[in-house]
């Protein structure tokens, strides 16, 4: 495909001037430039402490005992449940993490590559030249089916649309501010009641699967669910049914809600920056031909890996992350008392010019060790999946899904972006508000 075939589109055609921004995140970035790494807003326990930038991130990750996540992520309780790993701290968090981690080991994920490619192909099979499709929505569904089938087997995957429809009403609650969520709950508004009814149906389906596995009626692709049911820590403790339910829902939601947003931004970036789509597609053709990528192939796609990392840099799944301050501490020469909420921001860190050359430009080559300007960022400088004790367990799963599905998209299609610039929404999982509409030029 020629450069002109995707070059006639709205926007400036790439670089920093075409980078989609998110106004709340840009406000935090401006605050960091003016006030430095430490800012305080509000008074007492209802106040906020903002720790911004790489040194602040390193401090937060190294001093987990100063903070708690439970209160900070209260908004996620209607979706993930009270006993989710996401809302756990201290010894409870370490126990649950040890029991869940084997399900997401990289050797397990290698076995999911065929599922990832098949689900991508199933989405692409319905595309025709000349048609207009929403890449974000189509692949959001494909990533949801992939997540459920890979982790919990084909029985639950058959109900992927059921889970998507029911979980969506819960995810809409997460988009509310905590005060609005509390008001909906206390008043029992129609949105709250509808979401709780949907949650009850999700829970019924999941508990039925847990009971089936506990009874010994195990299918060949139940491996992760079996692991959650049978896992024991060094003290012989196992996860309860409610804990298993909460981990399952958390894995399903995190597996597709955040990953699909990143996928949509990646497609937008490749179509908005001249030459990026062509270079990525040529690399995929050279390495994979027409077939789906293998694990070895994934190691031989440095430019596509750069596309993925650059997307995660500019559009990290979480604009901010939060912790409750539970111990007094000192930072940047100031005493911070316990009580307020602490906010740090991957979005701000990923757009700092002191860390990233031309930070608003989409430059996949900056991630290639062979590039003369390459610099490997530290874990406190590049943190799309958080860091420290609470770093996302599903990060390898997410990056593998992204690479495999982007490879299939590049191998099988050429696309043109439709006029308009996507708008980023949501703090919890930054996504394109109205999707990523494109015209299909060719489809194989």
And the tokens for 326?
């539970």
Contact 340, 72 (CB under 8 A): no
Residue 345: which of 310, 297, 381 has the closest Cα? 381
Question: Distance between CA 413 and CA 436 in Å, rounded?
Answer: 15
146 in Cβ contact with 252 (< 8 Å): no
- The pair of structure tokens assigned to 98 is 């040890």
Residue indicated by tokens 């084997």: 102
392 is in an annotated binding site: yes
% helix, strand, coil for the chain, step of 5: 55, 10, 35
Compute the radius of gyration of the chain from its Cα atoms: 22
Is residue 228 within 8 A of residue 248, CB to CB? The reply is: yes
On whether the CB atoms of residues 324 and 67 are closer than 8 A, the answer is yes
Backbone angles phi, psi at 175, to 5 degrees: -70, -20
Is residue 342 within 8 Å of residue 52, measured between CB atoms? no
Task: Please give the annotated binding residues for heme, written as ranges.
Answer: 392
Binding residue numbers: 392
């Amino acid at each position: 495909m020629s450069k002109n075939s995707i070059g006639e589109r709205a926007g400036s055609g790439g670089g920093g001037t075409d980078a989609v921004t998110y106004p709340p995140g840009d406000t935090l970035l401006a605050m960091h430039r003016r006030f430095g790494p430490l800012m305080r807003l509000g008074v007492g326990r209802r106040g906020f402490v903002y720790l911004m930038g790489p040194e602040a991130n390193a401090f937060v990750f190294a001093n987990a005992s100063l903070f708690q996540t439970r209160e900070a992520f209260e908004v996620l309780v209607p979706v993930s449940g009270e006993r989710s790993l996401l809302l756990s701290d201290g010894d409870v968090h370490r126990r649950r993490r040890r029991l869940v981690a084997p399900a997401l080991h990289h050797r397990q994920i290698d076995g999911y590559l065929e599922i990832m490619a098949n689900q991508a192909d199933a989405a692409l099979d319905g595309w025709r030249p000349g048609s207009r499709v929403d890449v974000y929505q189509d692949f959001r569904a494909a990533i949801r089916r992939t997540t459920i089938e890979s982790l919990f087997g084909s029985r639950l995957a058959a109900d992927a649309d059921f889970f998507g429809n029911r979980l969506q009403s819960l995810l809409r609650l997460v988009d509310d501010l905590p005060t609005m969520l509390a008001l909906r709950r206390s008043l029992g508004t129609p949105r709250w009641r509808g979401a709780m009814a949907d949650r009850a149906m999700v829970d019924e389906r999941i508990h039925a699967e847990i009971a089936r596995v506990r009874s010994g009626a195990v299918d060949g692709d139940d491996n992760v669910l079996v692991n959650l049911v049978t896992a024991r820590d060094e003290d012989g403790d196992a996860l309860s049914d409610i804990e298993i339910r909460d981990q399952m829902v958390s894995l399903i939601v995190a597996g597709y809600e955040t990953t699909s947003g990143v996928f949509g931004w990646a497609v937008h970036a490749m179509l908005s920056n001249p030459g990026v789509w062509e270079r990525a597609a040529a690399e995929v053709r050279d390495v994979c031909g027409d077939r789906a990528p293998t694990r070895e192939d994934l190691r031989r796609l440095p430019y596509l890996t750069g596309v993925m990392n650059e997307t995660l840099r500019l559009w990290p799944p979480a604009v901010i992350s939060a912790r409750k301050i539970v111990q007094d501490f000192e930072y940047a020469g100031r005493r911070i008392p316990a009580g307020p909420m602490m906010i740090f921001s991957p979005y701000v860190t990923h757009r700092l010019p002191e860390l990233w050359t031309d930070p608003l430009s989409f430059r996949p080559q900056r991630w290639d060790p062979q590039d003369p300007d390459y610099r490997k960022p530290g874990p406190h400088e590049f943190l799309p999946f958080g860091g420290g004790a609470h770093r996302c367990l599903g990060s390898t799963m997410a990056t593998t899904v992204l690479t495999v599905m982007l490879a299939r998209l590049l191998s099988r299609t050429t696309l043109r972006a439709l006029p308009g610039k996507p708008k980023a929404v949501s703090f919890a999982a930054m996504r394109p508000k109205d999707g990523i509409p494109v015209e299909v030029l060719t489809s194989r």
